[in-house]
Amino acid sequence: MVRPARPEDVAALDGLVRRLALDEREPDAVEASPDDLRRALFGQDAVAGCLVAEVGGEVVGMALWWTTYSTWRGRPGVWLEDLVVRPYERGRGHGRALLEALALECSRRGGARLEWSVLDWNEPARGFYAALGASPLEDWTTWRLDRDALAALAGRAAGAPGATGT
């Protein structure tokens, strides 16, 4: 069964995030706490949504996402941040069910597209997504400002004449 995540799922979601970090070969990279997840998903200023796959009352998978916007299409979209299924439940259709439910949510919102990133070395994931009809954006590369670089750029803006601080 796929359903929207509920506040009581936060511990299971935290476990899935940590499982994903293991799968992506970065087991010590997770800094987010269960409280961070709770605020992001269920707080007054929630910034993300989450669907869960549940079997016998146990959360075995999740699709964590947020809304995007395409200026070219003039419509919203959905960015899938994390799709993860517990290893012992993989191959049973939970990932597909989560993506189908997320595609439906995107469509209900008038979404023009559903997008995500995949690690280049993750051939099983790439094959799974291709089988669903997804294709990589070969001409695009993801860029990131993080930690010190983000702080430095924000600091320059905050100190600039006429800067709004936003």
Q: Tell me the torsion sign for CA atoms 90, 96, 99, 104.
A: negative
What is the rounded CA–CA span in Å between residue 108 and residue 124? 29
165 Cβ contact list (under 8 Å, min separation 6):
157, 158
Active site residue 88: no
Q: How far apart are CA 16 and CA 20, in angstroms?
A: 6
pTM for this predicted structure? 0.89
User: Which candidate in 129, 135, 145, 157 is catalytic?
Assistant: 129
Q: What is the pLDDT of residues 62-113, one digit of tens each?
A: 999 999 999 999 999 999 999 999 999 999 999 999 999 999 999 999 999 9
**In this predicted structure, what is the pLDDT of residue 158?**
82
Three-state secondary-structure class, residue 95: helix
Average pLDDT over residues 6-22: 98
Q: What is the tens place of the pLDDT at every residue in 52-63?
A: 999 999 999 999
Q: At residue 35, what is the residue type? A: D
Cα–Cα distance measured from residue 144 to residue 142, given in angstroms and rounded to the nearest whole number: 7
- Amino acid occupying residue 166: T
pLDDT at 121 over 70: yes
Answer yes or no: CATH 3.40.630.30 is held by domain 2-158. Answer: yes
Q: pLDDT tens digits, residue range 128-148?
A: 999 999 999 999 988 989 999
